[in-house]
């Protein structure tokens, strides 16, 4: 069953990725894993497998000054690594001043209704256009691409209910061509404070109610994604142990060794050289940078390598 996946990037980030070391995500790989446990096991991704809807972070509102560059590195990695298998649609953020009622309590300790609460001025930040783009693209593709047999929405946002309804109406009018609808709710397993929206599930042919941590961990891109002119490198803060990674790269890219960050990553993409008195690891260092025990061994090799290089200068 020829399938295309439509990912609400904002919903996926806040539902599964924020505060985790899994933000360097390969959406196509994740989609393949999710389809294997869907209600449609005969699903096969279309050559254009995923349409990804996001918005560039506003520098005015970013908590970290590096956030914008980190996100741009990620978008570059997606383009280099996935090519025509993924298409990215970028909306924008609006930042406006507005007034909203704050949460207040009466003398009896109960919450006051919004109409009885003081209104205060706040900054209101909203992602614009992404939801509209996603809904339009999914409905248009379902109706206009005859080879497409299934569309999958990765979201927990009820704003997409009209899009699902429209596809179901199309199915009623076209008995000779039926579009199956899948929904993936991007929340973590066993998470109590975020609940799936049943209004999406009732309109779908099948629903996956969570994304497992192991599916995210197994769907990561290489730390360095090579391009013809420029490579995209996973930001330090996106690793599980960012300080250790930064220390390793700093040593390997020391200018006194005639090195650079690019050469540092190339070093990590090769097997460790067996050294007397040092432990070794199985596989490449770049594939084990989220493993604390492996990081200790890699750091020892890096320090030994730097000492050897200095002795040769």
Determine, yes or no, domain membership for 20. yes
Give me the phi and psi of 100, to 5 degrees please.
-135, 150
pLDDT per residue rounded down to tens, the chain (313 residues): 999 999 999 999 999 999 999 999 999 999 999 999 887 879 999 999 999 999 887 666 656 668 889 999 999 999 999 999 999 999 876 677 788 888 889 888 888 888 888 888 876 666 667 889 999 999 999 999 999 999 999 999 999 999 999 999 999 999 889 999 999 999 988 765 567 788 999 999 999 999 999 999 999 999 999 998 889 999 999 999 999 999 999 999 988 777 888 889 999 999 999 888 899 999 999 999 999 999 999 999 999 999 988 888 7
Tell me whether strands 44-55 and 119-128 are parallel, antiparallel or unpaired: unpaired
Q: Do 144 and 7 sit in the same domain of this protein?
A: yes
Q: Tokens 């596989």 label which residue?
A: 283
Any domain includes 257: yes
What's the rounded Cα separation, in Å, for the pair 51 and 137?
9
Residue 104 within a domain: no
Number of separate domains in the chain = 2
Tokens for 124, please give them.
């209101």
Neighbours of 178 (CB within 10 A): 15
Threshold 0.75, pTM exceeds: yes
Q: Are 79 and 45 in contact (CB under 8 A)?
A: no
Q: Is residue 105 part of a domain?
A: no
Based on the domain organization, do 182 and 290 belong to the same domain? Answer: no
Q: Where are the beta strands (DSSP E) in the chain?
A: 2-8, 44-55, 86-101, 119-128, 150-154, 180-184, 206-208, 224-225, 232-233
From CA 35, how far away is CA 249, in angstroms rounded? 37
Residue 26 to residue 34: CA distance in whole angstroms: 12
In a domain, 294, yes or no: yes
Q: Is residue 102 part of a domain?
A: no
């Amino acid at each position: 069953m020829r399938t295309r996946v439509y990912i609400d990037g904002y919903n996926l980030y806040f539902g599964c990725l924020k505060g985790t070391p899994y933000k360097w995500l390969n959406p196509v790989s994740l989609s393949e894993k999710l389809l294997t446990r869907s209600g449609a096991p005969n699903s096969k991704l279309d050559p254009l497998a995923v349409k990804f809807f996001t918005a560039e972070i506003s520098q005015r509102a970013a908590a970290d000054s590096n956030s914008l560059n980190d996100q741009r590195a990620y978008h570059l990695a997606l383009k280099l690594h996935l090519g025509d298998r993924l298409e990215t649609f970028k909306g924008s953020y609006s930042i406006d001043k507005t007034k909203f009622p704050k949460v207040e309590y009466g003398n009896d300790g109960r919450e006051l209704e919004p109409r009885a609460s003081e209104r205060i001025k706040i900054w209101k930040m909203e992602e614009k256009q992404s939801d509209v783009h996603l809904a339009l693209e999914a409905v248009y593709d379902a109706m206009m691409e005859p080879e497409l047999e299934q569309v999958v929405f990765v979201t927990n946002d009820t704003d997409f209910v009209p899009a699902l309804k429209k596809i179901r109406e199309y199915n009623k009018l076209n008995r000779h061509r039926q579009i199956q609808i899948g929904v993936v709710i991007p929340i973590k397993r066993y998470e109590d404070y975020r609940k799936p929206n049943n209004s999406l599930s009732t309109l779908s042919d099948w629903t996956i109610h969570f994304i497992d941590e192991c599916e995210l961990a197994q769907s990561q891109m290489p730390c360095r994604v090579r391009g013809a002119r420029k490579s995209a490198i996973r930001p330090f803060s996106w690793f599980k142990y960012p300080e250790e990674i930064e220390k390793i790269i700093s040593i390997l890219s020391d200018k006194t060794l005639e090195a650079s960050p690019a050469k540092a990553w190339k070093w990590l993409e090769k097997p460790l050289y067996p050294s007397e008195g040092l432990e070794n690891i199985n596989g490449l260092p770049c594939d084990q940078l989220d493993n604390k025990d492996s990081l200790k061994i890699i750091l020892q090799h890096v320090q030994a390598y730097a000492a050897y290089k200095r002795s040769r200068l």
